[in-house]
Amino acid sequence: MYDLHSHSTASDGSLTPTELVRLAHSKGVTNLALTDHDLIDGCSEAGIEAKKLGLNFINGAEISVSWSSQTIHIVGLNLDIQTPELLSGLQRLCEFRDWRAEEIARRLSKKRIEGAYEGAKVFAKGRIMGRTHFARFLLENGYAKDLKQVFKRFLVQGKPGYVPGQWASLEEALGWIQAAGGQAVIAHPARYRLSATRRRQLVGEFRELGGLALEVVSGSHSRDEILHMGQIANQFELHASAGSDYHGPENPYLDMGRLSPLPEVCKPIWEHASWPKPASDQGQTDSENSSLDPCPSALTL
């Protein structure tokens, strides 16, 4: 079972990388990608725990992109997390996040909400601060009844705590992912407020730049959205990915290990030629090709 989109305390998830991997394993996930926002800090820890449990772990990141005055998320998978180009790109986004966190707090204080920076910081266990941490602070202080309402009242475009993003360009994000030897996926493509025409334009540009897949199955997609995104992926000859976008037990996203299967018409990203073969498959291939094998399977068929 593949889950190729999840978050830990390194960004805005509420489980540590180790806890996340243990949960995934207990829910029957066999291939897990950690895709924290704009950083790869949690991947080493998650990889160590996954190895202990025999779970196949994939280094990933969910990169924030500004495209046509919208924020779009691009998931990078199978990243070489030592790649200087990737690390310096993500560093730039983290620096913008540092400034943005202060700016969110300044804007909230104009609405007489004081102490938001320090308050949000308490919830941020990793290097970055995101809107989720501000949402938790606002929720704790009774500014709304749930996370959804907090975002709607304070943290989305046109609301007091919203600061427009200055993220990577689509070209930069794909360049960093490719430099790191990874595959690029448009995260939760049905979630953006784009007209059908603009969405097709986005998918077309993404493909031109070497993007590989759409996240057809997402914890935030309905059944209809899954089918619709599957059709778009096929029309553009893109592969399909699947990820829960898990943020922790208290978030209103789908649970781990409960994703719908990809629509039959879709080509899974893990069947693309560039997807690394698990170590066990490679072992088998070696022995099949070995001249010591007394009975090659090709002869018995």
- What residue ranges bind Mn ion (CB under 5 A)? 12, 62, 73, 187, 245
Residue 151 binds to ligand AMP (criterion: CB under 6 A): yes
Number of residues that bind ligand AMP (CB under 6 A): 10
Is residue 188 a contact point for ligand AMP (CB under 6 A)?
A: no
Does 5 bind ligand AMP (CB under 6 A)? Our answer is: no
Cα separation of 278 and 280, whole Å? Answer: 6
Between 37 and 239, name the residue whose CB sits nearer to ligand AMP: 37
* Of 35, 83, 132, 178, the one binding ligand AMP by CB under 6 A: 132
78-89 in b/e form (b: 16+ CB < 10 A) is bbebebeebeeb
With binding defined as CB under 6 A, does residue 12 bind ligand AMP? yes
- Applying CB under 6 A, which part among 129-137, 227-235, 259-267, 271-279 lies near ligand AMP? 129-137
Partner from ligand AMP, Mn ion, none contacting 148, C-beta within 5 to 8 A by type: ligand AMP
Of residues 192 and 236, the one with the C-beta less far from Mn ion:
192
Residue 155 in contact with residue 134, Cβ under 8 Å?
A: yes
For residue 244, the partner it binds in Mn ion, ligand AMP, none, with Cβ less than 5 to 8 A by kind, is none
213-218, strands of its sheet edge to edge = 2-3, 31-34, 56-67, 70-77, 183-186, 213-218, 239-243
Q: Does residue 148 belong to the site contacting ligand AMP (CB under 6 A)?
A: yes
**CB nearer to ligand AMP: pick between 37 and 221:** 37
Give least dist CB 222 to ligand AMP, A: 15
What is d(CA 189, CA 205) in angstroms, rounded to the nearest whole number?
14
**Backbone phi, psi, residue 239, to 5°:** -80, 175
- Residue among 111 and 148 whose Cβ is closer to ligand AMP: 148
Q: Considering the rule CB under 6 A, would residue 131 count as an interface residue with ligand AMP?
A: yes
Radius of gyration of the chain (CA): 20
Among 6, 9, 16, 64, contact with ligand AMP (rule: CB under 6 A): 64
Cβ(66)–Cβ(173) below 8 Å: no
For residue 181, the tally of other CB atoms under 10 A from its CB is 14
Span near ligand AMP by CB under 6 A; candidates 20-28, 103-111, 126-134, 211-219: 126-134
Residue, CB closest to ligand AMP: 130
Distance of closest approach, residue 12 Cβ to ligand AMP, in angstroms: 5
Residue 166 Cβ vs ligand AMP, minimum distance, rounded to whole Å: 12
The burial of 118, by beta-carbon neighbours within 10 Å (0-12 exposed, 13-18 middle, 19 or more buried), is given as exposed
Q: Let me know if 125 is exposed, middle or buried by CB neighbors in 10 A (0-12, 13-18, 19+).
A: middle
Q: Which residues pair with 72 in a beta bridge?
A: 65
Q: Which tokens go with 223?
A: 């059944």
One-letter amino acid at 142 equals: G
3-state class of 252 per DSSP? Answer: coil
Q: Which is nearer to ligand AMP, 117 or 151 (CB)?
A: 151
Of the candidate residues 130, 189, 230, 257, the single one contacting ligand AMP (CB under 6 A): 130
What does the binding site for ligand AMP look like in residue numbers (CB under 6 A)? 12, 37, 64, 130-132, 147-148, 151, 247
